[in-house]
């Protein structure tokens, strides 16, 4: 039995899996060359990049609330993080944004979290209310302690990486909430059409994090089940 390889969100950290009742030790590492990749949110970009580069190491991919490539300004319509992605197209803009986020998070972490979830669906707001301290810890890990990695991941994501999608040979399962405002479900539709072998599971009424919590345990159990 092998452990799946996990790609966390941005901002995010390996410890974010605790939001769904797991620990980083439930997953493998790059050095183990695991066959199953599981990715959350913007982690989908890194997981698919890895799968395209090392197809012989990947047997299946599970994407939860994935963010699709941004090819045109229209792709950002209705995306809650649109200002972040626009700023990430400029190194100076991204540094300024990151500085502002860091200062805000240090000064008023609860207000920072409330701002992030203010326009999300009720399922996500309930999730945030029940995981406030854990979410703030994950945000601090990413924005305050691993800032260069955060900026590098955003810079890579906002490039047009749609050309790598047809290169993915492993089957892909997507899970996406119909009420997701951070990565609208049309992003999952876009990925499903571009990937050669993909299936999409829609989760009615769920958002970005509520979908994550609802499906991660099932995905992990399925990944670790004997063949």
- CATH of region 5-74+161-224: 3.40.50.1820
How does pLDDT run across 55-79, given as a tens digit for each residue? 999 999 999 999 999 998 889 988 9
Tally Cβ neighbours within 10 Å of residue 181: 17
> How far apart are the C-alpha atoms of 117 and 129, rounded to whole Å?
10
* Domain ranges across the chain: 5-74+161-224, 79-156
User: Tokens for 173?
Assistant: 């399962």
Q: Is the pLDDT of residue 118 over 80?
A: yes
**Cβ contact 214:127 at 8 Å:** no
pLDDT (tens digit per residue) in 127-140? 999 999 999 999 99
| Predicted pLDDT of residue 183 | 96
Once rounded to an integer, what is the mean pLDDT over residues 142-164?
97
Question: In angstroms, rounded to a whole number, what is the distance separating the alpha carbons of residues 126 and 6?
Answer: 25
């Amino acid at each position: 039995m092998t452990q799946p390889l996990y790609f966390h969100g941005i901002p995010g950290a390996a410890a974010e899996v605790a939001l769904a009742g797991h620990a980083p030790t439930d997953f493998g590492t790059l050095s183990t060359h695991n066959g199953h990749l599981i990715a959350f949110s913007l982690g989908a970009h890194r997981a698919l990049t890895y799968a395209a580069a090392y197809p012989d190491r990947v047997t299946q991919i599970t994407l939860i609330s994935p963010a699709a490539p941004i090819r045109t300004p229209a792709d950002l319509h209705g995306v809650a993080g649109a200002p972040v992605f626009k700023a990430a197209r400029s190194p100076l803009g991204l540094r300024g944004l990151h500085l502002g986020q860091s200062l805000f998070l240090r000064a008023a972490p609860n207000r920072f979290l409330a701002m992030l979830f203010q326009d999300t669906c009720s399922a996500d707001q309930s999730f945030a209310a029940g995981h406030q301290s854990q979410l703030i810890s994950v945000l601090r890990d990413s924005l305050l302690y691993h800032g260069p990695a955060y900026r590098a991941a955003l810079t890579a994501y906002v490039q047009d990486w749609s050309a790598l999608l047809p290169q993915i040979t492993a089957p892909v399962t997507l899970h996406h909430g119909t009420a997701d405002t951070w990565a609208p479900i049309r992003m999952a539709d876009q990925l499903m059409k571009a990937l050669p072998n993909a299936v999409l599971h829609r989760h009615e009424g769920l958002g970005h994090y509520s979908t994550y919590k609802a499906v991660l345990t099932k995905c992990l159990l399925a990944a670790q089940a004997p063949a």
